[in-house]
Structures are given as C-alpha cells and as structure tokens.
Amino acid sequence: MAHIHHLRVYYEDTDLAGIVYYANYLKFIERGRSEWVRSLGIDQTRLRADQGIVFAVRRVEADYLRPAKFDDELQVVTRIQTVGGARIVLEQEVIRTGERLFAATVTLVCMAEDGHAARLPPEIRARLAPGLH
C-alpha cells in the first residue's frame, strides 16, 4: 500500500532559474519516509530510547526525470518493495499532477547504537509488512 505525503516547493528549494535544486529531492523523499513511518504508528524517538535502534539510509538509486518548479504542489509516494531481517527497500516517487518527476529506490538498514546492523523487532516488522510475519 502506498503512502502519500503532500508538499509545496518553496523559493528556498530552488536555484536561480526557479527549478528545484537536485539535492532537495532527497530531502523531499526523507520527509515522505518520516511521515510514512509515523503513519504506521512507529515513534522513532521512542524506538531509539527504548531499544537503541535507528533506521539509516544505506543506498539511494535516483532518477531525475523532470524538473519541479517554485510553487508546485508535489506528492511524495512511498511503497515498500521488500523487508528483510535488518533491511527495508522502498520505492519513492515525487509526482506533480500525475507526472512523475523523480524516482528512487532507497535501502534502509536497522542499526544498533554501536553502528552495526540489527534485526527489525517483530512488532516493527509486523507494522511494516503485515503479510510477511
């Protein structure tokens, strides 16, 4: 199931030509992921405090397809591709009025405080992929 996060392009997101600066797409999809996790009822601050676990981006494969511009209304669409023991692969898109502007495959890892990979806790795995547990 897809999660959709709505946002607007502000002047600060653009270059002198009024086009979204390429690195800001990574910020947009980060916001989309944060809202997706929140929508699942996962409190990342509490997860870190109680279990010493955080999610970190390990890999991003990105395609810049068309430019977004100042004042555009955008949707960040987030979908789960796969969930492993300590890894989550997501597909994310930035869309403007049905037009795909940016696409990324993002690999997240669940990490312990010491920086090593940690298995996803069963309750988190169940929220991420209800049909997989």
Q: What pTM does this model have?
A: 0.92
What the block records as the tokens of 4 is 């959709």
User: In the CATH scheme, what is the homologous superfamily, with its name and number, of domain 3-128?
Assistant: Hotdog Thioesterase (3.10.129.10)
**53-102, pLDDT tens digit by residue?**
999 999 999 999 999 999 999 999 999 999 999 999 999 999 999 999 99
Q: State the pLDDT at residue 1.
A: 83
Active site residues: 15
What the block records as the tokens of 93 is 């898109």
Alpha-carbon distance of 96 to 108, in angstroms, equals: 25
